[in-house]
Amino acid sequence: MSFSLDDLPEEHRAKVASAADLAALVAFVDAARRERPVIEVAPAKLAAHVLAVGVAPGEGALAERLAPLRGGELVIALGCAEGDRAAIEAFERECFGEVRHAHARVRPNVGVDEVTQMMRHRLFVRSEDAPPRVAGYTGAGPLRAWFRVAVTRVLVNLATRSPREIELDDAMLAVLPREGADAEVDHARRLYGPALKDSLAEAVGELEPRERTLLRLAVCDGLSIDAIGELYGIHRATAARWIGSARDHLRAKLIASVGRRIGARDESVASLLRVLASGIELSLRGHLEP
C-alpha cells in the first residue's frame, strides 16, 4: 500500500470511512500516478488533494465517488501547483492551444503571447494567502475544458475592460467548443447572466412586430427562408433580407443595452457577443416564444 490512513490530514480522514474506502483511494491514486509517471507527486499528498477538491462530504462508497474523476489530470494540476516542471510542460502542451482559439473568438486588444504569460502567472504562481489557482481543478471534467473556461473569462474581462471578473452563464458557455461534459463551469455562471437576460428582453421588446415574428419563425419554429417567403408571399431573397435586417436591429439594440449595463464601449460589447453568439440564440427563443 503506497500510503496509510495515518498519512492523510486529519480533516480528510472522515471521507475514508472503511477499509474498502481506503483500498479504493489507494487504487485511484496509484492508477493516476501510472498515467503520468514523469510527474513527481507523493501518493499521500495526491490522495489528500483528491479528497480535498474532488470528493464532497456525503454518503456512499468512496469508490463510486472517485470513479468519475480524471486521475491523471489531477496529477498534472497538483504537480503544477507544486511547481513540477514536467507537470507544467504537460499542462501547457495539452491545454494552452486554447489560448489562441479563445483569443481569435474574443479579439481583445492584447496579443496571444501576453495572454499566455498572464495565464501562466494566474494559474501557476502562488499568492501570499492562497495556493496557485490550478489547484482548484477538481477532476470532474477535462482539464482542457476547465482551462478553456478560465482563459475565456480572462479574455472577456480584457475585451470589456471591466474592473471585476465577469462570469458566464449556461447560455454563454454553450458556445464554447467542448470535448465532453464540462463539470467545471459552475463557478462561471452568476454575474453576467442577469445583465444579458435583461438586455435581451429589452432588445426584443424594442423590435417591430414583424421583426419579432420573423425571428420567431426562423429561430423558434426553424422555418427555412423559402418557407418564410411563402408565408409572406415574397421572394426568398426578400425574406432573407427581412430576416437579416431583423437580426441586425436586434444585435444593435442588444449591444447598446449590454453596454449601458456593464459600462463598456460598443466595440468591446461586440467582441463579447462574438463569443456568446450561439448561446444568445438559445436564450433568444425564450424571449420570442408567445
Q: For position 256, which CATH number holds? A: 1.10.10
Mean pLDDT is lowest, of 101-110, 135-144, 159-168, 272-281, for 159-168
Percent of the chain exceeding pLDDT 70 equals 78
Residue 174's contacts (CB-CB under 8 Å, 6 or more residues apart) are 278, 279, 282
Q: How far apart are CA 206 and CA 72, in angstroms?
A: 51
In a domain, residue 99? The reply is no
| SS3 at position 21 | helix
From 77, 93, 114, give the residue that closes a domain: 77
In a domain, residue 135? The reply is no
In a domain, residue 158? The reply is no
Mean pLDDT for the stretch of residues 67-93: 97
User: What pLDDT digit, counting tens, does each position of 247-287 carry?
Assistant: 889 888 888 887 777 666 666 666 556 544 545 555 677 77
Q: What is the pLDDT of residue 262?
A: 65
Rounded to whole angstroms, what are the CA distances from 54 to 58, 122, 162?
A: 12, 21, 31
Mean pLDDT for the stretch of residues 68-86: 97
Is the pLDDT assigned to residue 82 strictly greater than 90? yes
In a domain, residue 142? The reply is no
155 near 114, Cβ under 8 Å?
no
Q: What is the pLDDT of residue 220?
A: 75
Q: Which residue has the higher pLDDT, 181 or 118?
A: 118
In a domain, residue 82? The reply is no
The angle, 0 to 180 degrees and rounded to 10, between the axes of the packed helices 97-106 and 143-160 is 30
Taking alpha carbons only, the member of 133, 220, 144 closest to residue 180 is: 144
Mean pLDDT for the stretch of residues 60-78: 95
Q: How confident is the model at residue 60 (pLDDT cuts 50, 70, 90)?
A: confident
Q: What is the pLDDT of residue 159?
A: 66
From 56, 77, 98, give the residue that closes a domain: 77
What distance, in Å, lies between the first and last C-alpha atoms of the chain? 63
Name residue 107's amino acid: R
Q: How confident is the model at residue 289 (pLDDT cuts 50, 70, 90)?
A: low
From 33, 56, 77, give the residue that closes a domain: 77
In a domain, residue 31? The reply is yes
Q: How many domains does the chain have?
A: 2
Percent of the chain exceeding pLDDT 90 equals 41
Q: What is the pLDDT of residue 105?
A: 75
In a domain, residue 101? The reply is no
In a domain, residue 210? The reply is yes
Q: What is the pLDDT of residue 180?
A: 40
Residue 250's contacts (CB-CB under 8 Å, 6 or more residues apart) are 203, 204, 207, 211, 215, 284
Q: What is the pLDDT of residue 257?
A: 83
Q: Return the half-sphere exposure (C-beta side, CA atoms, 13 A cut-off) of residue 145.
A: 21
Residue 65: which domain range? 5-77
Is the pLDDT assigned to residue 137 strictly greater than 80? yes
Q: What does pLDDT average to over the chain?
A: 81
User: What pLDDT digit, counting tens, does each position of 176-231 carry?
Assistant: 444 443 433 333 334 455 677 788 888 888 988 888 888 888 877 678 888 888 87
